[in-house]
Amino acid sequence: MATVIPFLILFPLVMACLMFVIRNNRVRGVAAYLGSVIVMIGVGVLVVQWFLAGAKPVELFIETEVADHVILASEIVLMVVVTCLCFKYKKYWISLLSIVPTLLIAYLELFGPEMEPTYHIYLDHLSILMCLIVGIIGGLIVIYAVGYMHGYAHHHSEFQDRRYYFFMLLFGFLGAMFGFVTSSSLLWIDLFWEVTSIISFLLIGYTKSSEAITNSFRALWMNLLGGTALAIAIAYYAYEAGTVTLQQLVFEGSVGSNIALLPVVLIAFAALTKSAQLPFSTWLLGAMVAPTPSSALLHSATMVKAGIYVLFRLAPALSGRTSGLMVAFVGGFTFLAASIMAIAQTDAKKVLAMSTIANLGLMVACAGVGTAETIWAGIFLMIFHAISKSMLFQDVGATENTLHTRDLEAFHGLIYRLPFLAMVQFIGIAGMFLAPFGMLISKWAALRASVDERNILLVFFIIFGSAITSLYWTKWMAKLLEQSRAPKVKDITKLNEKISLGIHAVMMIGVCLLFPLLSSSYVDPLLREMFGNAEQVLPTATLVVLIVIILIVFAVPAVSMAFGENTRTNIKPNYMNGINDGTDYGFISSYGEVQHMHVSNYYFAHVIGQRKLMLPSQILSTVVIIGMICVILGGVL
């Protein structure tokens, strides 16, 4: 393991350099395939090694003199890069958010108190799970990206083709993410945190259009604000406790030590910015201008999960405290508000973004409550969400390449026009809210846990939020199914995109079927690690019922479809008051002309659109966050 982890962090970085160097698209494509396969194998080796070693928490790298210096140097390089870019685009004040924390950390490392030697890498069930998500989904997205970016470069000839740069960033991100989820030293975590923020910023600005630049700087300052909070937390904790280990911090937080209170709140705040919770949700929406692979990888499947990961780590320290209440409120409120705003979106990617924010909110709320039950729910939310959102983003991207639009209304009857892509969308959406699939089970557990915790606000948020969630997903699914006479379009989705999508779909269904096994053999030990003890969250009877429902949902339409083929049915035109033009798509107007009819969905953009609701929700959540932090500060000082 001591070799695999540095490999997982450094190999993608080497790949990143390689991507930058190779300017031949074909060669780079092959190299990217190889690289992502090697990353996946690396993760596989890590997992196997770790399981063979007994699947117990592993502490590594106590002596890291050289690495520490490298890390410090990289921080300073990053600071310089960000400052240069900020000055180039005349956003001077944003550079402060990079300079201040970096100098703080540098000061701490060079002149700060002597830390006791301790481990820097920590591997347990949670970090292995994150590694799996990052490795497998990240690898697949890179494979997808090779095909996608080919189409993207062709359709968006107005933008400069900088694919070498794009793939460099993707691989660099993978390396940083591995570093992030395996590190235990807060100083290391800080570096990787900054790296992911900045790569996200660079990817959003990929097209260099004015919209992209505005959005990328918005993402940058929000993420750097979180980074600043993180740096302050680290410095404070280092001076007070003489150590910078995340595990130590969580332990002290969970026993109620006063020293840990402030750092925990600040880190939780940083996590909220990373996970795009209100009031910081706008950066994730703006991030949708980036090419789809980066939306899939950074802005839904992995990077935003970094915040969730940190909150899960902190959960024992949050549970039952004011900080936990704050996190739970912000998360729950974000779940509700983002779900409402998702209804009004007509852009498929925006719907996905809103729903990502909403689901992250639910996970944040789970972490904020911080009991074994909610973490169980949160972990499953994370797994299912990572798979299905990555799949949906990739699918919408591929659909956009084919249809040249991602307007939901253009998806009318997609199942007849682009059967493969529509089917994958269908599975992905079903995974997000329908009964047998995982997200719903997680909601079940989250709801139960919030009743157990007597957190009435969270109960309301979950109940109303999930009612609203079903509206926009059902709407979307119905749109796919509606009959259309638009001509079948040629599916220009590349084979590699299809491979990635196919594997995602299989994983989705596989995880649903293996769900009980996953729960008992992986998540329960994870909870035991975190809380010392954990009982089975889901009763067996419910599991049996779930399996039966899965069978029904898959079997019934199939069987009746087969049965229906044999019954002789008289096909009638649909009802339009008898003035149907003979097809199902038009009618004859009073002038005797054929009028085309388009059946549209409801959106209510003028009532519950982002423009109407975003600002009030941001204000409310800001007030709550500031208020809660004041209360906590009052307790500490």
Answer for the pair 348, 389: CB distance below 8 angstroms, yes or no.
no
Measure the CA–CA gap between 295 and 279, rounded to whole angstroms.
Answer: 20
Piece of the chain touching other proteins by CB under 8 A; list 66-74, 113-121, 249-257, 577-585:
577-585
Closer Cβ to other proteins, 162 or 448, answer by number: 448
Answer for the pair 268, 314: CB distance below 8 angstroms, yes or no.
yes
Closer Cβ to other proteins, 66 or 541, answer by number: 541
Give the count of alpha carbons within 13 A of 343, CB side only: 22
CA 579 to chain centre: 48
CB of 301 to other proteins, least distance (A): 25
517 lines the binding site for other proteins (CB under 8 A): no
Binding residues for other proteins, total number by CB under 8 A? 68
Q: What is the CA radius of gyration of the chain?
A: 25
Question: Taking CB under 8 A as the criterion, which residues in 96-135 touch other proteins?
Answer: none
- Residue of the chain from 570, 591, 606, 637 that contacts other proteins (CB under 8 A): 570
CB of 476 to other proteins, least distance (A): 11
Piece of the chain touching other proteins by CB under 8 A; list 115-123, 226-234, 304-312, 567-575:
567-575
Piece of the chain touching other proteins by CB under 8 A; list 31-39, 192-200, 269-277, 556-564:
556-564
Answer for the pair 371, 319: CB distance below 8 angstroms, yes or no.
yes
Q: How many CB atoms lie within 10 A of CB 538?
A: 20
Question: Taking CB under 8 A as the criterion, which residues in 362-421 touch other proteins?
Answer: 413
Measure the CA–CA gap between 285 and 618, rounded to whole angstroms.
Answer: 14
Structure tokens at 229: 């909070």
Measure the CA–CA gap between 315 and 268, rounded to whole angstroms.
Answer: 10
Find the Cα–Cα–Cα–Cα dihedral 366, 371, 373, 375, rounded to 10°: 50
CB of 547 to other proteins, least distance (A): 12
CB of 554 to other proteins, least distance (A): 10
* 619 contact partners, CB below 8 Å, separation of at least 6: 279
Closer Cβ to other proteins, 72 or 348, answer by number: 348
Closer Cβ to other proteins, 45 or 553, answer by number: 553
DSSP code at position 55: S
Closer Cβ to other proteins, 557 or 635, answer by number: 557
- Backbone φ, ψ for residue 555 (5° rounding): -80, -45
- Residue of the chain from 104, 435, 547, 613 that contacts other proteins (CB under 8 A): 435
Answer for the pair 107, 259: CB distance below 8 angstroms, yes or no.
no
Question: Taking CB under 8 A as the criterion, which residues in 469-508 touch other proteins?
Answer: 470-471, 474-475, 477-479, 481-484
Give the count of alpha carbons within 13 A of 602, CB side only: 6
CB of 515 to other proteins, least distance (A): 14
The binding track of 140-179 with respect to other proteins, each residue x by CB under 8 A or -, is ----------------------------------------
Closer Cβ to other proteins, 266 or 354, answer by number: 354
Answer for the pair 373, 537: CB distance below 8 angstroms, yes or no.
yes
Question: Taking CB under 8 A as the criterion, which residues in 593-612 touch other proteins?
Answer: 597, 599, 601-602
- Cβ-in-10-Å burial (0-12, 13-18, 19+) of 65 comes to exposed
Answer for the pair 401, 498: CB distance below 8 angstroms, yes or no.
no
Question: Taking CB under 8 A as the criterion, which residues in 439-458 touch other proteins?
Answer: 440, 444, 447-448, 451, 454, 456
CB of 314 to other proteins, least distance (A): 26
What's the longest Cα–Cα distance across the chain? Answer: 88
Of 348, 496, 482, which Cα lies nearest the Cα of 417?
A: 482
Phi/psi-derived region of residue 625, left when phi > 0, alpha when psi is between -120 and 50, beta in every other case: alpha
CB of 479 to other proteins, least distance (A): 8
- Residue of the chain from 81, 486, 514, 545 that contacts other proteins (CB under 8 A): 545
Closer Cβ to other proteins, 312 or 437, answer by number: 437
Sign of CA dihedral 196, 222, 334, 310: positive
CB of 354 to other proteins, least distance (A): 16
Residues that bind other proteins in the complex, under the rule CB under 8 A: 413, 434-436, 440, 444, 447-448, 451, 454, 456, 459-460, 463-464, 466-468, 470-471, 474-475, 477-479, 481-484, 539-542, 544-546, 548-549, 552-553, 556-557, 560-561, 564-565, 567-580, 582, 584-585, 588, 597, 599, 601-602
